[in-house]
Structure 1
Amino acid sequence: MPLATAPRLLAAILLAIALSACSARYQTPTAMGGDDDDAVCQSRGYAVGSPEYVACRKDRDVQRSAAISRSDRRQRDLGEYMLNHPERP
């Protein structure tokens, strides 16, 4: 490899690493607070394995899924709006 192409290759690798940091799309929404489901359900007084505990964990999972779906829908709607209205920045 010629010595002149090494800086370009290094710059391309660094750019790829920097851009990959932006690709973390599916993270827990901040509205959920990032709480530990187990700790939250136990703090409500539910014993691990009880029907109430299982329902609590399921409810938290449903809430998280709904928040992610809303976030995805808003992102998709924004993209469609930007495509349909190129005159507005």
Structure 2
Amino acid sequence: MRQTSARLALVLMAALSLAACASRNAGPAVAVGNDDDDAVCQAGGKVPAGSPEYVACRKDRDVQRQRAEARADRRQRDLGEYMLNHPNRP
């Protein structure tokens, strides 16, 4: 009985760890939003696809997304370095 609960706890911890790793690889959805870039840049059909305004909007959204991903990666790296340099602090 005691071994069963210990195994269950171990399996749950492993599942939670894997779930955290899986969600880490997802890009930051908050930075630009979950909106469809095409729909946002066409402004409800007012701006035709391929126009200079549309192209500029798509480029701006790409840059925003790349910057958000870089910030998230930098924060993760900084946290890892802090944890390595301060092993006694939580």
Give the root-mean-square deviation of aligned CA atoms.
2.3
- Partner-residue secondary structure (3-state), 1:31: coil
Match of 1:21 among 19, 22, 32: 19
Aligned 1:37-76 pairs, distance under 5 A: 37-43=37-43, 45-76=46-77
Aligned positions, number: 79
Question: Is the contact made by 1:28 and 1:34 (CA closer than 8 Å) also made in structure 2?
Answer: no
CA gap 1:47/1:70 in 2 versus in 1, 3 angstroms: same
Task: Give distance in 2, aligned partners of 1:88 and 1:18.
Answer: 23
1:7-52 superposed Cα distances (whole Å, 9 cap, x missing partner): x8xx96x876654433131323313221110011011732111121
Establish whether residue 31 from structure 1 lines up as the match of residue 31 from structure 2.
Answer: yes
Structure 1 spans left out of the alignment, 5+ residues:
1-7
Question: Given residue 21 of structure 1, which amino acid in structure 2 is its aligned partner?
Answer: A
Q: For the Cα contact (< 8 Å) 2:28–2:72, is it kept in 1? A: no
Equivalent residue for 1:3? none
Q: TM-score, normalised by structure 2?
A: 0.71
Distance 1:21 1:88 in 2: 25
Distance 1:88 1:49 in 2: 53
SS of the residue corresponding to residue 35 of structure 2 reads: coil
Q: Distance in 2 between matches of 1:15 and 1:88?
A: 22
Where does the alignment leave 5 or more consecutive residues of structure 2 unmatched? 1-6
> Contact 2:31–2:64 at 8 Å: present in 1 too?
no
Counterpart of 1:46 in 2: which secondary structure? coil
